[in-house]
Amino acid sequence: QHKWQDQPPEAIPAENQANLEAILARALSLGINHIETARGYGTSEMQLGYALGHFPRPSWILQTKVAPKADPQAFAADFEKSLHYLQVDQVDLLAFHGLNLPEHWAWTRRPGGCLEMARQWQCQGRVRFIGFSTHGPTDLITAIINSGEFDYVNLHWYYINQRNWPAVEAAAVQDMGVFIISPSDKGGRLYDPPEKLVNLCQPLSPMVFNDLFCLSHPQVHTLSLGAARPADFEEHLRTLPLLDQAANHLAPILRRLDHAGEQALGRPWLETWDEGLPDYTQVPGEVNIRTILWLYNLVCSLDLWTFARDRYNLLGQGSHWFPGQRADALDTLNLNTCLAASPHREQIPPRLAQTHQWLTGPAGRRLSHS
């Protein structure tokens, strides 16, 4: 999209719109026909609304996402705006956008709430299938899936972040579609990978490796690609001929990646680093210990410095989409109680401090991994 904020139609640059239409044309010519947007994506719905009129309606599947609200009428107003911008009377897939907190789920499911309203739209033929997207904790995602209310889920799961696997398995039990959010970007900025990761993934590119890793699990159905230009599909397409022999292609790469992690971090840490870690809400200062240690691991084992720096500095600014705080005030906090259940309680505070030093220092800084 041109902007993350709504803009008047005349503010859309012609070259930006032409690029979007070229991306759509290339995607549809390849059989890539699932188009995903959201009310919260600024000009995206408006631009797609203009573009989609150039392509036959049966050739594409349209998903938009609308955030639940405490006031269901506000939710309904957002949905009406989405249809207006998309220039359609029906969407194939409507997701509740960002069921990240228990209160979002409460707004959605309560009598007279947003889900009840969406069911009415479904009965009217304005919505075909109803799902939800989430950046929330795994236990909340799994509970929502197990409610049996939804046809599909959009969530994060890829090689560097497999924490949501129990939710993926729960979705399979419910016969839900599983849509992976941003595997190439949030999966490690794989369009700009570090040399170490490139070498570890040979003969595949990191992007193809990650695509193949995700799609080798039959519980996973759809990967979002996030193309910014028509040529961006080409690398992803290299995955398709490999699917029938996915295990054979993946096995040596997975062994190398595991060995790299063991060399950098040691087997005991690699296998147990997240045992007994508290939720950020139970940590003084709401320091997100689990996320910071995850980024520490990625830097040490895979050299994902740029990705880790971007993610770390989103802490404290990402609200419920990327919750918790950085380790700025670590010297003033007592973590003994919240780390009592961790087998690494002595190692964790210095590693948090080291990660903070690494990821807030000058770009490109490389320090010892001790």
pLDDT one-digit tens code per residue, 214-256 = 999 999 999 999 999 999 999 999 999 999 999 999 999 999 9
334-356 residue pLDDT tens: 999 999 999 999 999 999 999 99
64-76 residue pLDDT tens: 999 999 999 999 9
pLDDT at 184 over 90: yes
Q: How far apart are CA 324 and CA 336, in angstroms?
A: 18
Cα distances from 197 to residues 150, 210, 296, in angstroms, run 37, 11, 16
* Global confidence as pTM: 0.94
Give the model's pLDDT for residue 65: 98
The two structure tokens encoding residue 170: 């729960």
Give the model's pLDDT for residue 59: 87
Give the model's pLDDT for residue 4: 87
Give the model's pLDDT for residue 362: 65
Give the model's pLDDT for residue 363: 56
Determine how many CB atoms are found less than 10 A away from the CB of residue 44: 22
Please report which confidence band the pLDDT of residue 22 belongs to, taking 50, 70 and 90 as the band edges. Answer: very high
Q: Percentage of the chain surpassing pLDDT 90? A: 93
What order of strands is seen across the sheet that includes strand 34-36? 34-36, 61-66, 91-96, 127-133, 152-155, 177-180, 222-223
pLDDT at 364 over 50: no
Return the SS3 of 63: strand
pLDDT at 323 over 90: yes
Burial class, 248, CB count within 10 angstroms (exposed 0-12 / middle 13-18 / buried 19+): exposed
127-177 residue pLDDT tens: 999 999 999 999 999 999 999 999 999 999 999 999 999 999 999 999 999
Q: How far apart are CA 234 and CA 232, in angstroms?
A: 6
Give the model's pLDDT for residue 366: 44
Partners of 66 in beta bridges: 96
Return the SS3 of 123: helix
pLDDT at 327 over 60: yes
77-92 residue pLDDT tens: 999 999 999 999 999 9
Q: How far apart are CA 292 and CA 358, in angstroms?
A: 11
The two structure tokens encoding residue 6: 């709504």
Nearest of 331, 345, 234 to residue 289 by alpha carbon:
345
Return the SS3 of 159: coil
pLDDT at 365 over 50: no
pLDDT at 271 over 80: yes
34-80 residue pLDDT tens: 999 999 999 999 999 999 999 988 889 999 999 999 999 999 999 99
